[in-house]
Structure 1
Amino acid sequence: MAWSLLGLFLSAFGAATLLPLQSEAVLLGLLFEGRYAPIWLITVASLGNILGSCVNWYLGLRLEHYKNKKWFPVSVTQLEKAQRTYAKFGFWSLLLSWVPIIGDPITLIAGLMKENFARFVLVVSLAKIGRYLFIYVAYTWV
């Protein structure tokens, strides 16, 4: 595997977690470079981003166990508000998992709410692949 593809995968994976990373610039740089077929770049970025969201889902499953700890970064009130919001909109809110700032916490809350994993992966995959396809289409128009 080429180092640049690994870098794309890792940046997409990290960007899907709660880390403040961006994978779009890496994807655009590799598209501009032209060494790899766009379908490979979109596939690698999508897989990394989807797997990163799966990590968030898993962490969400384990989150409630720690909510009363002093070091826990979110108040119980904020956590309950997030749960109510997710319950209101349900798994459809996962279509926003690609959106910066709010997308990663949504995937975490989905785990906390014990969202069905298969449905989680399906909806998140649609959102993440759609985002990278949009970036590619925008790139080809510019």
Structure 2
Amino acid sequence: MAEFIEYGYWGLFLSSFLAATILPFSSEAILSLCVYSGYDISLTVAIASLGNWLGGLTGYCLGYLGKLEKIEKWLRIKPEKAIRAREYLRKRGNAFAFFAFLPFIGDLIPIGLGLLRTNPYWMALFMAAGKACRYIVWAWLTLHAMA
């Protein structure tokens, strides 16, 4: 993970993007290192949010372009888990995209919304808000831990 901080904002962007996929990755640690290292906090939060949001949109596009069977195969998602997520998301709609920042299930939310062909504009807006809120809170917690 230390390699990402060597690339500065680009490393933060890449780590945030990867963390929004099904890869088990902690972009929060990189964000904390950036804040601790004296990077501009507003720019750090903006870049982390943008990278994570674009990673989530990638998941949405995979879902939108794919069929449930292909998503299960490519991403190694168990069929019963994918079906449960699809039914749950069908009832909640785009506003559920706000919670795409959550660990584990958060990676499945954009994919499920894509499979359901939900409105991409509303989904993108709610997802951006959730991801930005997460990084704002994380940066604030990091600042207070340093004090």
1:89 aligns with 2:92: yes
What SS does the aligned partner of 2:101 have? Answer: coil
* 1:7 equivalent in structure 2: 11
The two structures, once aligned, show a CA RMSD in angstroms of 2.1
Q: Which residue of 2 aligns with 1:25?
A: 29
Shift of residue 52, structure 1, vs aligned partner: 0.2
Match of 2:69 in 1: 67
Q: Which structure has more helix as a fraction of its residues? A: 2
Gaps of 5+ in 2: 1-5
The CA deviation at 1:122 is 0.3
Q: CA deviation at 1:18?
A: 1.3
Secondary structure of 1:19's match?
coil
TM-score by length of 1: 0.88
Contact 1:94 1:120 in 2 (8 A): yes
For residues 49 and 70 of structure 2, what CA distance do their matches in structure 1 show?
A: 35
Select the residue among 46, 57, 60 that pairs with 1:57: 60
Give distance in 2, aligned partners of 1:75 and 1:100.
17
Quote the Cα distance in structure 2 between the aligned partners of 1:114 and 1:15.
Answer: 23
- Would the aligned equivalents of 2:63 and 2:71 in 1 still touch at CA under 8 Å? no
Cα distance, 1:77 vs structure 2: 4.1
Unpaired segments of 5 or more residues in structure 1? none
CA positional deviation for 1:63: 2.5
Aligned residue identity for 1:140: L
Q: How much does 1:70 deviate?
A: 9.4
Q: AA paired with 1:22?
A: S
User: How high is the TM-score relative to the length of structure 2?
Assistant: 0.86
Find the counterpart in structure 1 of residue 3 from structure 2. Answer: none
